Amino acid sequence: MDTRRIGSLEVSVVGLGCNNFGRRLDSDSTSAVVDAALDVGITFFDTADVYGGTKSEEYLAHALGRRREDVVIATKFGSAVDEQTRGARPEYVRRAVDDSLLRLGTDRIDLYQLHTPDPQVPIEETLGALDELVNAGKVREIGCSNFSADQLREAEEATREGAARFASVQNEYSLLHREPEGDVLPECERLGIAFIPYFPLDNGLLTGKYRQGKDAPAGSRLDSGRGERLLTDRNLDVVERLIGFSESRGRTILELAFSWLLTRPAVASVIAGATSSEQARSNAAAAGWELSDAELAEVDSILTRQG
């Protein structure tokens, strides 16, 4: 599999999101998914302290075992583990990293990310604590998630000369959610920050399993109240057109979803979760479509067409 860079880190262009570990998958099922991901060349694993009620980090560590040295582990802090365990205060950052290191069974985190901005803490204070972690060898690179372009600029301006700076930002981005194109992606290119898209399949809407005129598959992620926001007539119409576009070229909408994101220069790795070995393999195989300029223009026309 091709690789790209996040600061000093070399990562596979498809990464494995670990939010299902400890939530939808037990330890044995997690190991099966991780094994399949490694077999197809995925080396970038993205988790967080809150995933699976802190079990995700533990299950990932167990699944990797001695192969930890072969992969890049990204985790996050800042979201509420409980009422007392949250935020971006320097004293909490120091505690959170040690907790994650223990759960991950490792002596360093390759990419340590602030999960969400903390308006109660000046960003320079958080960056100072993160720089301490880098200097102590506990963290190799630092990143952020759910940051706006203004917040990225503020963080860059607050970084002391020679100190660790955000190497990446992880925000939602997909064919159906193009908000980052307005300002965050251009800011990433200007600052040399890697962009990591999450929800690249828009909660499964871009897998082809949800079709116009058909009920959502029983037990699927969108077979519930939250599906109402995504399973709109417009979205389903766009999906049908994207499926037609892909199939006319002997491809799938899954391939389009991954490969389209990877045409963006700032995108380093597209992370998607998997609940089975088959999903992990399918996601890895989906990044090989080299879209031409004409194809990209046609996709853009489908996405912006009215009615």
Residue 152 host element (H or E)? helix 149-158
Active-site annotation holds for 51: yes
DSSP 276-306: SHHHHHHHHHTT-----HHHHHHHHHHHH--
Report the alpha-carbon distance of residue 282 to residue 37 in Å, rounded. 10
Residue 65 in 3-state DSSP? helix
Cross-strand partners of 9:
6
Under 8 Å between Cβ of 280 and 36: yes
Locus of tokens 């990562």: 11
Half-sphere exposure (Cβ direction) of 168: Cα atoms closer than 13 Å: 34
**Three-class SS string for 77-132?**
ECCCCCCCCCCCCHHHHHHHHHHHHHHHCCCCEEEEEECCCCCCCCHHHHHHHHHH
Locus of tokens 């879209």: 291
Residues near 108 by Cβ (< 8 Å), separated by ≥ 6? 101, 137, 138, 139, 140
- Copy the structure tokens of residue 68: 């930890």
Among the options 51, 59, 173, 198, which is catalytic?
51
Provide the annotated active-site residues.
Answer: 51
